[in-house]
Structure 1
Amino acid sequence: MIIRQIFTDGIAHSSYLLGGNNTCAVIDPDRDIDAYMDVASEMGWMITHVLETHLHADFISGHMELLERTGATIVVPSSADPSFDAMEVSEGDSFEIEDMIIEVLETPGHTPEHVSYVVTDRSRGELPVCVFCGDSLFVGDVGRPDLFPGRAEELASKLYDSLHDKLLKLPDFCEVYPAHGAGSLCGRSLAAKRSTTIGYERLYNYALNTDGRDDLIHSLTEDMPAAPDHFSRCSEVNRRGPELLGKLPPLRAFPPAGFSKLAEDPENIVLDIRCYEAFGGRHIPGSYSIDLKSNFATFTGWLLPPDRNILLVTDSPENASEAAVWLHRVGLDRILGFLEGGMHAWAMAGLPTEHLCQVSSPELDNMVRDDEEFVLVDVRSPSEFSSGHIDKAVNIPVDEIRHSYKELDPEAKTLVICGSGQRSSMAASILQQNNFSDVHNVSGGMTGYSAAGFGPDCPLCALPWISSGKEKKVE
């Protein structure tokens, strides 16, 4: 028995290949299946099964892609009610892959239809050697039960049973392979380690050591981080079966005049994926700012309307292609193309631009000390805000600015701040879309403000938050 893990940084997602001598299964695949095909080819495996622990809420799964390429049998929980042909399994079912027996445990809680796959390697012994537990049990955490409106307490109670009556009945040496690691919003505070054992989690996982059912329910239904918008969309897409990537239209390069005409259509939106400093220098009026090197998949899935076509502004065709991969991962498939020649070509065509003034930490501190008249909007999460903020700031998380901007004066001088400048640029672009006339972005955010000696350190900015680029700060 061989296990190969594939970790997708930008969505902090772990998927796996479970193989024997000649065949293998892919567990909880993401939509881009080349990595699985490459590993299978390298190992000399035929992919015969695709195992889904649940209808993933935070990304689009690759089960249909693998079916198309390999003809593998898709295994899903029967209660998921899939719209595609699949082997539907429930508690007590089992199947074999060479010397391995895979047994099914129903482990609802994170989602109602969740299952875990317990593997016994008969070539070595008769006891379970590992469990692929999806989003029920993580390293240092458990799956959040609050993704279904009005069902949080019910699902938290079911999760308690799944953990204590099923997963914790496995041997302490049983290896645990979850579907997510640090950086995922599928739990509250996942650890950075990517696998664990039942015994270690029994000892050190806070959720397994609560004072009974009611205590766990309370801990998992109070003060949970906000769930991105695409969490409510992806599971249904996965149930229906996602559109095959090969059937989506290719990206097109639009010259400035054609791009401008498309941008005027209310069915289309412009997404600027350059760094926030470049966006601040000049950008197309009405465009969204979401830096490709930020937590791009999460924030595009969270902030962009899913029923609109997307036009990309970028520094290169290669970045446009990379952005398309991440957009597809969160179910944003309506991508028309990108601006040929970027903002340089746009400016050379004499087309209009907007600016977003960047305010440095010393400038902001002077404004605070001089008691200037301005509104300071801190778009970090409530937990970040409570850990340290500027006295004048009002906390409106970036996802809420889409609606809560109505509480602000569009004529007032408005400064926007976050942890580094990226989320605040996202929020500032939304304010500009809604006719705020005097918007400024705080470059460097609270990290820069604190580094300059003007404010407290931001503990969350040092967490291993996984982005689609090289950064590891919370964005």
Structure 2
Amino acid sequence: MFVKQLYTNCLSEAAYFIESKGVAVVIDPLRDIEVYLDLAKERNATIKYIFETHFHADFVSGHLELAKATGAKIVFGPDAVTNFEAYIAKNNETFAIGDLTLKVLHTPGHTLESSCYLLLDEQQQPYAVFTGDTLFVGDVGRPDLFSGNLSKEDLAGMLFDSLNNVIKALPDNVIVYPAHGPGSACGKNLGPNTYSSIGDEKATNYALLATDKQKFIEEVTSGLSTPPSYFPINAKINKEGYDALQAVMDKAMQPLTPAAFKAKAAAGALILDTRNASEFGNGFVPGAISIGLEGRFAEWAGSLLPFDQDIILVADAGREEETIVRMARVGFENVVGYLDGGWAAWEASGLQKDLIITVEPDELAMDLPHDENLVIVDVRKPAEFASGHIKNAINLSLGDMTDPGKLGDFEDNHNLYVHCQGGYRSIIACSILKREGIHNLRNVDGGFAKMKDEKGLDVVQEKAVLN
């Protein structure tokens, strides 16, 4: 028996490769499928099935690409309806994988079609359960994502039944392999690990400890942040289908001279710069939006960028293809070229450039008492802001900055000092503000993590929100 978790930090996503006696299956694959093909070759195995736990909202699955490449059958659990050929399994239906067996457990709640897959070992004993977004380490899948006319309360009720009637009935030693780990927006507060056991979750996970259905519904549905704007787009793509990744790559991998790059931008293409945040601040193409590959790139790209507008890239030389693949994972098929030679080529061309001034927290502390026009802009999430922020700062969450109407009522004489927790999100925010014509701003280096210890910067909490 061979079981491998393939974890992608950028999306907090886990896919799985299972093999026995030369027969392999993949659960919840990403759109770029080479890693699964390489594993099959390494194991001298044939991929027979591709199992999907549900219609994913946070990434574009690789089920169609992998099926085309291998001839494997795509399998969904009960109640799934697709626009492509797939096998819709029955609850408790089993599939042979060499000496192993995979059993379908229909567990609606996160979505109607959500299903878990129980792996039985060579002795037909329960070994592991692949829970998708039904059960995470320390959390469960949110019940407010795109399931027809059902309310989140309706789905939460179904989730309670699925957890109590199906998941909790499994032996304590069964390994729990979820579809996501810490940082995922598919739950409220996932634990730090990417796998667990039924026994550990029954002992520590609030959702499995709950015994009152109504209280469970209230707890699971309260405190949910607004889901990222790209979630419904990805869910629709996964249900209806998508273009081949190679076609997306062929369209996007078009090198552009600085002059051609400038012309495309002038014609309406959006400029995305994926270099490190600090490098972007030191110089960038005017109007570019920064989303560095070093952070939660795909998630922020999906949340902040348009899917219906041409995009052109500025990337570190040699990382253009990586950028395009990571964008395709969340459904982008509208990249139409990249700056040949990267930022160095733009600098050498002598064309106009822009920059973002970065200051240390002590400089902000010195300026604060003497500048009546100084505005501290905290772009963290509301919950982060509530737990501790600089006195008199305003909260303009980065996730809300796709709407120009939410960018704040800033005056021309305002001096904006923008920060997040560590510096990644604030550079993105500064680039968006500059693109909207707000240039009198500074990025605070190190964000709140450094600012909270600076003398002269008072930290307060929003106790009414926290309570």
Quickly name the TM-score band, shorter chain normalised.
over 0.9
Query: Do structure 1's residue 431 and structure 2's residue 433 form an aligned pair?
Result: yes
Report the CA distance between 1:259 and its aligned residue. 0.3
2:68 alignment counterpart = 68
Residue 144 to residue 183, structure 1, CA distance change in 2 (3 Å): same
Contact 2:391 / 2:458 at 8 angstroms: preserved in 1? no
Report the CA distance between 1:455 and its aligned residue. 5.3
**Structure 2: how far apart are the matches of 1:42 and 1:166?**
35
Residue 442 to residue 16, structure 1, CA distance change in 2 (3 Å): same
For structure 1, the residue ranges without an aligned partner over 5 or more in a row are 459-475
Report the CA distance between 1:8 and its aligned residue. 1.1
**Structure 2-normalised TM-score?**
0.92
Query: Do structure 1's residue 252 and structure 2's residue 254 form an aligned pair?
Result: yes
**Structure 1: how far apart are the matches of 2:411 and 2:332?**
30
Report the CA distance between 1:442 and its aligned residue. 1.4
Give me the CA root mean square deviation: 2.0
Q: Within 5 Å, give how 1:29-428 maps onto structure 2.
A: 29-121=29-121, 123-125=122-124, 127-148=125-146, 151-248=151-248, 249=250, 250-266=252-268, 268-316=269-317, 318-403=318-403, 404-411=405-412, 412-428=414-430
Aligned AA (2:316): D
Residue 174 to residue 456, structure 1, CA distance change in 2 (3 Å): farther
Report % sequence identity. 38
Contact 1:410 / 1:436 at 8 angstroms: preserved in 2? no
> Per-residue displacement from partner, 1:135-173 (whole Å, max 9, x unpaired)?
101111111112238721111111111101111111222
Question: SS where residue 294 of structure 1 aligns?
Answer: coil
> Per-residue displacement from partner, 1:184-218 (whole Å, max 9, x unpaired)?
11111212222222122111111111251122211
Report the CA distance between 1:116 and its aligned residue. 1.1
Report the CA distance between 1:29 and its aligned residue. 0.7
339-348 or 289-298: bigger deviation? 339-348
**Structure 2: how far apart are the matches of 1:371 and 1:413?**
8
> Per-residue displacement from partner, 1:419-446 (whole Å, max 9, x unpaired)?
1222111112111122213122212111
**Structure 1: how far apart are the matches of 2:453 and 2:35?**
40
> Per-residue displacement from partner, 1:255-311 (whole Å, max 9, x unpaired)?
100000001122x21001122332222222221111111111110011001111211
1:466 alignment counterpart = none
Question: SS where residue 7 of structure 1 aligns?
Answer: strand
**Structure 1: how far apart are the matches of 2:178 and 2:8?**
13
Q: Which runs of 4+ in 1 moved over 6 A?
A: none
Report the CA distance between 1:345 and its aligned residue. 2.3
Contact 1:55 / 1:235 at 8 angstroms: preserved in 2? yes
Contact 2:365 / 2:455 at 8 angstroms: preserved in 1? no
Residue 343 to residue 98, structure 1, CA distance change in 2 (3 Å): closer
93-102 or 448-457: bigger deviation? 448-457
**Structure 2: how far apart are the matches of 1:128 and 1:145?**
27
**Structure 2: how far apart are the matches of 1:59 and 1:457?**
37
1:471 alignment counterpart = none
Contact 2:78 / 2:91 at 8 angstroms: preserved in 1? no
Aligned AA (1:286): G
**Structure 2: how far apart are the matches of 1:315 and 1:49?**
37
Report the CA distance between 1:68 and its aligned residue. 1.4
2:463 alignment counterpart = none
Report the CA distance between 1:449 and its aligned residue. 1.6
**Structure 2: how far apart are the matches of 1:456 and 1:384?**
16
Residue 351 to residue 52, structure 1, CA distance change in 2 (3 Å): same
Question: SS where residue 358 of structure 1 aligns?
Answer: strand
Report the CA distance between 1:452 and its aligned residue. 4.4
Residue 39 to residue 368, structure 1, CA distance change in 2 (3 Å): same
**Structure 2: how far apart are the matches of 1:280 and 1:247?**
33
Report the CA distance between 1:447 and its aligned residue. 1.6
Contact 2:311 / 2:335 at 8 angstroms: preserved in 1? yes
**Structure 1: how far apart are the matches of 2:415 and 2:211?**
50
Contact 1:92 / 1:103 at 8 angstroms: preserved in 2? yes
Contact 2:106 / 2:114 at 8 angstroms: preserved in 1? yes
Question: SS where residue 407 of structure 1 aligns?
Answer: coil
**Structure 2: how far apart are the matches of 1:324 and 1:456?**
42
Contact 2:396 / 2:408 at 8 angstroms: preserved in 1? no
**Structure 2: how far apart are the matches of 1:198 and 1:43?**
29
Query: Do structure 1's residue 446 and structure 2's residue 451 form an aligned pair?
Result: no
Aligned AA (1:427): A
**Structure 2: how far apart are the matches of 1:4 and 1:200?**
21
